[in-house]
Structure 1
Amino acid sequence: MLATTFTSSLKSDSVRKEIQEGMSLHDLILQQQRLLEIIASVHDLFADRAYPQQAFKRLLNDLQALTGSEYGFIGEVVPQGNSIPQLLPLAINNFAEDSSWSFATSLQTVAHSGQPLIRNMGSTTAEHLSAPSFSFLGLPVIHHQKVLMVIGLAGYHTTYSTTTLSLLQPLLQALGGLHFREIKDRSTDQLLKDYTSLQSELESLILTLDDIVFEMDEKKVFTRVWCNQESLLFRPREEVIGKNISEVLGEHALAFNRMADKILHTGEPQEYIYPDIRQDDQRWYELKMRLIINKTAAPRRILLLIKNVSEREKRYSSYLQSQSELRRSNQLLSICQQMGKMGGWEFNVTTGETYWTQEVYTLREVPSNFPISLPSSINFYHPGDQPTFITAVHQLREEKIPYDLELRHISAKGTHTWVRTVGRPIYNSHGHLTHFRGIIMDITDKKDAELELLKARDHAQKAAQSRSDFLSVMSHEIRTPLNAIIGIAGILQSMSGPEHIDVVHNLQFSANHLLGLINDILDFSKMEAGKVELEHIPFAPAALFQGIVRNYLPLAEAKGITLYTQIDHNIPPIINGDPVRLSQILNNLLNNAIKFTPTGSVTLEVARQNLAGPRCILSFAVKDTGIGIVPDMQEKVFDTFVQEDTATTRHYGGTGLGLAITKKLIHLYNSNITVESKKNEGTVFRFNINFAIPEKDNRHLAQEEKYADGCLEGMKLLVVEDNAINIRILELQLKRTGATTVTARNGHQALARLQEQEFDAVILDLHMPEMNGYETIPHIQHLQPDAFIVVLTADIMPEVRERLSRLHIKDLLPKPYAAHDLLTILKKQHSRKPMRMV
């Protein structure tokens, strides 16, 4: 277009006139060439939307130099409705306020009329009869019949003509197009502008400011090069101009030639993105080919716009990679949601828009076009759970309280499920609420499993209760006759002659052995239920160890083996612990050692490891020279009901519970037991226990009190027992104490006796017909609150002691009991009561 304008201007009458008036053709051509350069450089004005003042200043200087003007003004026209438009100055040179006529008024006239204005010195017009003091040229910059800018030029030594207007018209057109586009796109993102502006001629003009611009003739020979940075050229400028595509572009020549041929043949613009020709450079470039449109039949020219798009390509590559990763993440998320039966939802607090993921539609069995909202979700919940959900949603929306609920869910097709629904408030970086988000998860399988677990727990509890009831009955039914056997044996021992001592001893041994088996079973049951707790009372360890060994001497002597003890003399005389459980551990180990040692010896070793401090660690070892244990069985012997083989069980007897109970008891002491053994060479069991040493010395605890005849003289006792043998045993045990006994066979008879006379103590069995001991105790406490109650029972389950504790009964003797223990309790209570007045 610029070349066409230049050619046309040469043919115009005004040009001929200029030549005739003294301007040479050469000067005119130079003037036209200078104008082309100004037009090319004018695009710098719009490279930065900030409109730098220095750029407009440079343009104004160039125009003044081109026209020989002394004054200059460039201003943007700001419409003011029907009023005279306002001019926003962009550049001013030498503007004189004291002119003979107003420079500003002339500019306003051009802006208002949209017509160029020429006033030369010495001329007069109808509108202005007096001659102006200097020449003035006012140029409107118009686009689409709208005045966008005004350029004013003036001087004392220049004259303006229509030729000047013709000369500057291409510049005015370019400025009009560029400024019009700039006004529309000032607030548009520069990157978007680069993409969208490719479709117009205006965009082509703006893109002439790209990094490199080439001009090429129709023979595909480079004729001109514009480049802001010479370093961007892949070849020196002199090696490009005058060379064709094949000579300059190397490996890219084929693609460039193909595009050039196509644009010359069809006129269609061409684009191409390629890497830098230099192998060591990682930059990318974008090529745009355009035909330069001429109004005349001049040779065709091609404009090549080359821009460095390395950063854009990197961003685009990153964008594609991010998109790929996003698609993969979305696919994985969708798969996870499908596998986890979980969907997500979102509510926009600003727009009110609600969003569900696909899994929510699937869960609720509705089509994808189903109208959704936060309140509409209420209808998908069971009517019984809807109030809970409504309250949670209200608290989330009004008070920003998150919710996490498990509710019954009914889909649109009537499918019943359990769901976990979660809602959370979402805030932006400034702390402002933007969304509510959450999940809906199908937890039907989990709920079914929970219900099954509840059923299983109920069954287990019932089974445990049944086992407890069975063991309670078994304990009562076995211990009741054992109580009679052991009690009679004790009485016979004090009454029999020397010839019956062995028979009575065998009777006691058998009864105690059976009692030990029953105790093992009951203890194991209590341990499995976690109902065993250690006591922490003072006792004399040396006396305990000696008593245990003394009890096993007859058994060892009967088998012809030696029983040794090695007790450390540094053991404290009194320690705090549970003497009953410690005795049970040592009894089990010694009993096993003697049982499985046909010949040789059994040794109990006790040593103190630490010799100072408020605590002492006692190390125990039970050694024997017996049959031993094979390596594969050394850990299994601690399992329940396990012995080395069935032949061992048949030959030596036992339940296989002793070592299992021993290990559990040692674990209660936060310790462990180990075994060392060789087949047919013997076995060693070792364990350590940490005991506290009491501050007060209680050595007298080791002394057992002996009770003389008549120790309970004057004491009146009520014996409530349904078993005639046990009543007889009690009468014989209390015969020499001087106590008076009255008997009752059940609770009803006991209450009748209590209403007839007063008693100092009541010896009460728990399991009785018609009215048992539990039912009788409150009546006893009501009728005779001062009467002391001692419970004798064959039921030693943990629940018994807990139940009696709630009835405020502390003294309990499990059957079989030792007569000495009963006398100790009665003697203590008897000594506290005042003498009864008869």
Structure 2
Amino acid sequence: MLFAVNEASLEQIIRKVELARGLGPLLPPLQAAAMPLLADEAMIGILWVGHKALNSALLPALEVLANQTAIAIRNAQLLSRLSESEEQYRGIFEATRDGLLVLSETGNIVEANPAAWALFDYERQTLCERHIEDVLDLLSFGGMPGFIAAAQQSPVSQLEGVRRGGQRFPVEVRIAPLNFRGQAHFLAVVTDVTERVKAQEALLQTERLRALGQMAGGIAHDFNNILVGIRGFADMALMDLDENPAFVKADLERILEGTKDAADAVRRLQSLYREPADTSDFVPLQLNALVEDALALTRPRWKDQIQSMGHTVHVKTHLGEPTLVHGNPSELRRVLSNLILNAVDAMPEGGTLTIQTGREGDWNWVRVTDTGTGIPPDVAARLFTPFFTTKGGTGLGLTVSKAIVQRHGGEISFESTPGRGTTFCVRLPVVRDVGNPSSAGSKNSPEKRLRQGCCVLVVDDEPVVRELLKRLLERLGQVVTIVSSGREALTLLQERSFDLLVTDLGMPDISGRQVAHEARTLHPDLPIILTTGWGETITPEKLAEIRATALLPKPFTHHELVAVLEKALGLAS
């Protein structure tokens, strides 16, 4: 008789033994023995044997029988549990929302869950006949071996998945060794991150808009100060015409200075929404001038706002010899502005902000130092991590800044002591053997003689701009026709020929882009000058797409107009 623990409790076993004893008088005389069934040092049952011929010589054999019986029972239990565990894991495997791929060592897909079927748009059997490189782009790793080697260094990889129809989508892949059916395999966990990427892009746009709002507030403050000077000196010029004619020229020069300041403020604002992927505008830049621009942009924060709270930030600059870097001026200003604003935020009760520039070998550097609270070690380790923030913002400022610096071939680093302050250092490659970075057509350039007597068609929907261009061009000896719409311009272009077309980009009804295209079709050799208030966002590629010869950003000076005309019309022989 066999009593197993998994069939009844020990109390029930004892009752059965007592029952057996009660039956004893009803049976013939017997010899009996009870053997414990032991497995893993635990009793899992009792083997009870009764027979009239049983004697002590048979006890060793009974012990062996009890041991073998205990092993058989334990194996049966383990097999049952294994089957139950396999069913549980199969349920988890099939219910997981991420795609799961079981891969051979060579990268063949040998098993996949329903989420993977849906993710890659394959039926199970078809997917399990594919190679991992059919559904994941591993080109950057050099194939499966390189991918496995990279996974040992970083278990999470950002890749592109490839659906059956060839559609690509962003995925995050984790891979780990797996023993499958007694052989070495890999388990790849594939997560579709399309929505996450869209959310990150939306947050990046939000960050740019937030920066735009902050800068717009500062620029509005600057504009009010600029307009005070323009309006005030315009009034003075009108009064000086009668009272002090000798002062009129000085009054007008002050007005011109004010308009230049206003134009600079607008260009700084436009630089915030230049396309990030555009590198066509990389030009030689004065590093010290970028620092001065960034200080001017952030002045409302480090001066006006701090002073309104009763505190002061002392700004010190130690700028080295003027040196050149090659890059996008708006993006580099954005990096420096972000570092300055972070330094100000680290000094809520005021302090000292120090900006230094210099050169070491083939590198230019800028250091932005504050005397603020410093950065704790746990925060420092995640400082450039996207969306990590301690200030309640989006956590993208330093991430974007690092990406910009790296795009310019540079490096960004920092040193910080909690309670004493922080220094950020931006290093950019030195530019060698370049000409003067200032724009062509400056006041110091020798006056060049333009072709005169050219028939020029000017189209702009703003009366002030039309009249200004007419007077400036006529002053330069040109014959000018002005119209107020693209439709009027196209009518004239169909009726007659011109030596030059000057058209505004943004106009109602028919845009300057359409006018340029139609004009180029009607007169293939016609020089076209495009004028626009969005000059900071018009790249050479966009200008070529519009089929224009030259760009004249608004507002423009007499010298800038002459320089563009020289490009479009050429010089007199």
| Structure-2-length-normalised TM-score | 0.50
Compare relative contact order (CA 8 Å, sep 6+) and give the higher one, 1 or 2.
Answer: 2
Instruction: Give the number of the structure whose alpha-carbon radius of gyration is greater.
Output: 1
